[in-house]
Each structure stands twice: as structure tokens, then as C-alpha cells.
Amino acid sequence: MTTATRKISYTVPCASSFRDAVMQLAERRQSNVADLARSALLLLPEDVLRQIPDPGEPAAGDREQTVLKSGPSAGRPWRRKPRLQVRLPAGYAVPTVRRALNLLLFLSRNEREIDIHDPAQAKQQQQSQDHAFTEEIERLQTIVSVLSFNPLTGGVRSRMDALHVLGFAPSSRPNRSEIRARFRALAAVHHPDGNYGDHQRMSQLNAAMEILGSGL
């Protein structure tokens, strides 16, 4: 059994220029204003519509003249705010309806582009990106593990041991700046507070700095 959607009549106050532009667009599309508004309200998520400027209510001097059709004053002229009258499902705020119509005017003048995406497809793409990101993290963790120096069984006892721990060739003579730069880079990886921290490696890095620093 299909349940009919309850519709109500919306009075949308707006500038007369905005009203005229919307009505002209509906005429060009061989449609009516309500169908135009409904197309944007149904297709676009609310967060997209919130980014569209609300043209707002008419200025104080922007009024139209009409004739009252009922009541004690029937037949008398009356100046009122310009407006659009549209019949839509209940639940929309008037500014949201104006934004939807404003967006359609932007699109008709090629002044704006929108990306209409399938939420299910977007979710699938996000899951794919998350999976790829996780794989990349795991790959980098493996690389760090492979490239990290093997802690020396007997600890750092000589200059050669210190050069090995810091990744220098046994015959190299690094200067103070090179030693400190290498230590900082390795400490950022092996410090126990980091993601790849290792107490033993960090301890041997400190020992290597003590030996190499004393000879500079």
C-alpha cells in the first residue's frame, strides 16, 4: 500500500526580480515553480543546499499591488511583499525553498556546478581509500622494520659499533652536524613513544651518540 505524501502550500517571500526570474525559468522549462523546487530539494542533500546563498526577503520598497478577493475589504487594492506560491511536501523551511530555486537559476546561467553523487558509491570509494591507506601504512611499517639496524648483542662498545648503529660506513668520518642529523632522524623512528618505538634500539642510539660525541 502506497502512502501519499502530504503537501502544503508554501508562501515564499522574495524580491520581485527573483520571482520573475524563477517564473521565466519555469516557463522556459515548460514546467511550474513547484516542480522546479521539488527537483532540487529531492536530488540534492541538505548540506549542499546550505551552501547556496539565500536571496532573502524583498527590500522594504519592493512591493506588488493586488486586489483583496474576500473579507470585509474585498475589492480593495493592497500592497504586499512579492512572493512565490508553491505546493510541496511538508517539512521544508522557506529559506531552503528559496535556496533551491536560487541554485536552479545559477545552473541555468552556468554560474555554478554541482556534484551529484550516489551515497552508496561514495561510501564504497571511501572504504576503498581507507583500505589502500591501511595497506600503505603496513608497507611502510615493513620497510621501517627491514631497514632498522639490528641491536648489537653486546651493546655499543666501540666507535665502529657506534657508526653501525647510526648507519654510517665503518671507515666514514662524519662531522658533528651529520651525526646529530642522523641521530635525530633515527630517534624519531625508534623513540619508545612513537609508533615504531623500540627501547633497545633507542638505548643503543644514545650510547652511539655518547661515543661519537666524545671524539668530536
**Predicted local confidence at residue 1, as pLDDT:** 45
**Predicted local confidence at residue 2, as pLDDT:** 46
Question: Which residue is it, cell 643503543?
Answer: 204
What 3-state class would DSSP assign to 131? helix
Residue 76: how many CB atoms within 10 A of its CB? 10
**Predicted local confidence at residue 171, as pLDDT:** 87
**Predicted local confidence at residue 76, as pLDDT:** 83
Question: Which residue is it, cell 546550505?
Answer: 50
Q: For residues 37 and 23, what is the distance between their CA atoms, to the nearest angstrom?
A: 11
Query: pLDDT tens digits, residue range 177-212?
Result: 999 998 988 888 888 887 767 889 899 999 999 998
Query: pLDDT tens digits, residue range 158-177?
Result: 999 999 999 888 888 999 99
Phi/psi at 65 (5° precision): -105, 130
Q: For residues 188 and 184, what is the distance between their CA atoms, to the nearest angstrom?
A: 6
Per-residue pLDDT of the chain (216 residues; tens, 9 = 90+): 445 567 889 999 999 999 999 999 999 989 899 999 998 888 888 888 888 999 999 999 999 988 777 767 677 888 889 999 999 998 899 999 999 999 999 988 887 666 555 556 556 667 777 777 788 777 776 766 666 778 888 899 999 999 999 988 888 899 999 999 989 888 888 888 877 678 898 999 999 999 987 755
Burial of 63 from C-beta contacts in 10 A (0-12 / 13-18 / 19+): middle
Q: What is the CATH number of domain 136-214?
A: 1.10.287.110
The full set of domain ranges for the chain reads 7-67+76-114, 136-214
